[in-house]
Amino acid sequence: MASTAPHGLALLVLVAALPAAMSSCAGEDFPSGRSYVTCEDLPYLGASLHWTYDASGPSLSLAFVAAPAAPGGWVAWGINPTGSGMVGSQALVAFAGGAANSSAPAAVRTYNITGYSPLGDASTPIAFPATGLAADVGDGGKVRLYATLRLGKGLKKVVNHVWQVGSSVTRGAPDMHAMDADNLAAKGKLVLTDGAAASAPAPAGGSSSSGDGSGDGSSLRRPISPAAHTARVSVPEVVVLAVLGFLTMAWKDRWL
Ligand SMILES: *[C@@H]1O[C@H](CO)[C@@H](O)[C@H](O)[C@H]1NC(C)=O
Ligand SMILES: *[C@@H]1O[C@H](CO)[C@@H](O)[C@H](O)[C@H]1NC(C)=O
């Protein structure tokens, strides 16, 4: 039938395009040994966060992925335990080509962001002791920053986080980022427990009351996080669309 081929083609395009558009973070191909329970495409600056939350530390193992604003620039991510913006953030900054030497491997530093003054050329202590600081450069010049943070016991399960990208580094210090709308909007809430490591067997559907008995209901808060929610439902949606597409084609073939 003449009409079948265009429909089949449209369906293929649909099935191929949807997962990428809805959750590009899920396609990130990390080096072996680096894997995370969940990921979220962040709404600004083309960034994504991959993480595993271990409630027993508590600790957060993460990979932050973003392209610097220009080659040789920097990318940054942090938790702000005291506010919602940049000031107060306990930040991790990765330099695309080493901090002081553009041919050196990518480097990571920690910064306690205390104000709007320029950052220096050395790490400052942050509230969450960081281990495993590393970075590499992935597809399309994206810098992937890796770290494990030991979080305070009192830290809430939903935290304010910020992220940023900059275009240049001068004498080992990250230069100020652009002040475009997307740079200023790059902050949000992160539901740490969306990336909870499986520790105790839980009934299907993720009851919050099993395990250590803390039962804080954190898993019930998952819908707060729209991006993660989208990522989670995208595969079933695509399957439903694909099945509908096939049914439509079959129906047309048979009856038109
Ligand atoms: C820059 O880094 C490369 C690779 O690590 C090293 O071989 C080179 O000596 C460094 N140059 C300077 C000026 O430090
Ligand atoms: C970060 O800076 C603030 C403001 O100066 C200070 O109160 C806080 O103790 C610092 N945090 C760490 C971990 O040094």
pLDDT tens by residue, 55-95? 999 999 999 999 999 988 999 999 999 999 999 999 999 99
Number of domains in the chain: 1
Residue 55 forms part of a structural domain? yes
Rounded to whole angstroms, the Cα distance separating 92 from 146 reads 9
Q: Is residue 218 part of a domain?
A: no
Name every residue whose Cβ is closer than 8 Å to that of residue 207 and which is 6 or more positions away in sequence: 219
Q: Are 80 and 189 in contact (CB under 8 A)?
A: no
Domain assignment present for 96: yes
Ligand nearest to the CA of 103: 1
- In the chain, which stretches have pLDDT less than 70? 1-23, 98-105, 199-256
Residue nearest to atom 2 of ligand 2 (CA): 114
Alpha-carbon span 67 to 185, nearest angstrom: 17
Question: Going by C-beta distance under 8 Å and a sequence separation of 6 or more, which residues neighbour residue 236?
Answer: none
Cβ-proximal residues to 64 (8 Å cutoff; 6+ apart), any chain: 47, 48, 49, 50, 75, 76, 77, 92, 94, 144, 145, 163
Domain containing 86 equals 36-199
Q: Is residue 17 part of a domain?
A: no
Phi, psi of 79 (to 5 degrees): -100, 135
Instruction: Give a yes or no: residue 25 inside a domain.
Output: no
- Which ligand 1 atom sits closest to the C-alpha of 101? 1
From CA 167, how far away is CA 183, in angstroms rounded? 12
At residue 246, the pLDDT reads: 47
Contact 227, 70 (CB under 8 A): no
pTM: 0.70
Structural domain includes residue 80: yes
104 ligand 1 Cβ < 6 A: yes
Pocket (CB within 6 angstroms of ligand 2): 112, 114, 125-127
Q: Is residue 99 part of a domain?
A: yes
pLDDT the model gives residue 199: 67
* Ligand 1 pocket member 102 (CB < 6 A): no
> Is position 85 within any domain?
yes
Q: Could you tell me the CATH number of the domain that includes residue 85?
A: 2.60.40.1210
